[in-house]
C-alpha cells in the first residue's frame, strides 16, 4: 500500500491563520523521509535527518484545512507543520537533491490564489497585502 501526502499553506493575516492554498505534492518517499521521517528506514540517506519529526496539527488551523484533515479520519497519520524557517530548509534540500526540477513540476506543485510561488512568498507579504506576517505549511500522510 502506498503513502501519500496532503498539504495546505496557511498565512497569518491580521493575527489570524487563514487558508491560502492546497498543495499537490507527488508521492516521493525520499521527500517524505526528509520532511518528517515518514517512510524512512531510520538510516536516513547521507546521514540527513528529517527537518522535523511530526509535531501534530496546530490547534489554530483554518476551517478549510481542518475540514480536509478531519475527512481523512483514522487514515491520516504523522501530521505536522513547518514554519518559515523549516519551509526554507525544505526548499534548500529540494534545490540540492533535485537541481533540475522547478518548483512547478514533478515533486511539488504550488497552487496559489495569486499565481505566486512559495519561493516568492516573502516578497508577496510586503507587496500585495498588508497584514500578512507569516506563512506555514501544514501536512499529513495517508496509507
81: containing domain:
4-142
| pLDDT tens per residue, range 100-122 | 665 544 444 444 433 444 444 44
| pLDDT tens per residue, range 39-61 | 876 654 555 789 999 999 999 99
Q: What is the average per-residue pLDDT within 91-103?
A: 73
Max Cα separation, the chain? 45
47-51, 59-63, 70-74, 139-143: least confident range: 47-51
Q: What is the band of 138 on the pLDDT scale with cuts at 50, 70, 90?
A: very high
8: exposed, middle or buried (C-beta count within 10 Å: 0-12, 13-18, 19+)? buried
Say if CB 32 and CB 5 are below 8 A apart.
yes
Q: What does residue 44 show for φ and ψ, rounded to 5 degrees?
A: 35, 115
**CA triplet 5, 88, 34: central angle to 5 degrees?**
45
Name the domain count of the chain. Answer: 1
* Nearest by Cα to 83 from 58, 117, 116: 58
**CA triplet 22, 101, 89: central angle to 5 degrees?**
65
The pTM assigned to this predicted structure is 0.80
Amino acid at each position: 500500500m502506498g503513502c501519500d501526502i496532503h498539504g495546505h499553506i496557511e498565512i497569518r493575516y491580521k493575527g489570524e491563520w487563514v487558508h491560502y492554498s492546497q498543495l499537490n505534492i507527488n508521492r516521493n518517499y525520499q521527500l517524505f523521509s526528509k520532511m518528517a521521517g515518514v517512510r524512512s528506514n531510520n538510516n536516513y540517506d547521507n546521514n540527513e535527518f528529517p527537518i522535523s519529526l511530526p509535531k501534530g496539527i496546530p490547534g489554530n488551523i483554518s476551517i478549510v484545512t481542518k475540514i480536509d484533515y478531519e475527512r481523512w479520519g483514522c487514515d491520516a497519520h504523522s501530521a505536522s507543520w513547518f514554519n518559515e524557517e523549516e519551509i526554507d530548509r525544505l526548499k534548500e534540500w529540494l534545490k540540492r537533491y533535485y537541481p533540475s526540477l522547478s518548483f512547478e513540476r514533478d515533486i511539488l506543485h504550488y497552487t496559489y490564489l495569486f499565481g505566486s510561488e512559495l519561493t516568492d512568498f516573502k516578497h508577496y507579504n510586503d507587496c500585495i497585502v498588508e497584514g500578512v506576517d507569516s506563512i506555514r505549511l501544514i501536512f499529513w500522510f495517508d496509507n
